[in-house]
Amino acid sequence: MEETNHPPLTSFIQIFTALLDRFLADPNEDVREWNEKIRQTLGGRFPLFVSLLPTEYWRMLGVGHEHPISPEVDWSTLRETFSS
């Protein structure tokens, strides 16, 4: 049963965390520049997106230890939220 129980956007999150590992952990990259690019690209979807990431990535993105999303997420429209 657990094999079919995947969090939302699992593949996208796995790809994104691999990129974060590569870019934000590289001492030759400017973490602040990448953080700003990610925030600009995601815009208002940033808190929702970060809330889907494992907590160890929150600090990399400047969120800290607080859960980055306070309002309830309407999971039925999650796909539409990211595609618009």
- Model pLDDT, residue 69: 60
- Model pLDDT, residue 1: 42
Q: What is the pLDDT along the chain (84 residues), one digit of tens a residue?
A: 455 566 667 888 888 889 888 877 788 888 788 888 888 998 888 888 888 888 888 877 877 766 666 556 666 776 666 665
Whether the CB-CB separation of 35 and 61 falls below 8 Å is answered with yes
**Which tokens sit at 74?**
């309407």
DSSP secondary structure letters along 29-65: S-HHHHHHHHHHHHGGGHHHHHHHS-GGGTTTTT-TT
| CA-based end-to-end distance of the chain | 32
Q: Domain residue spans in the chain?
A: 8-83
- Model pLDDT, residue 68: 60
- Model pLDDT, residue 7: 63
- The pTM of this model reads 0.60
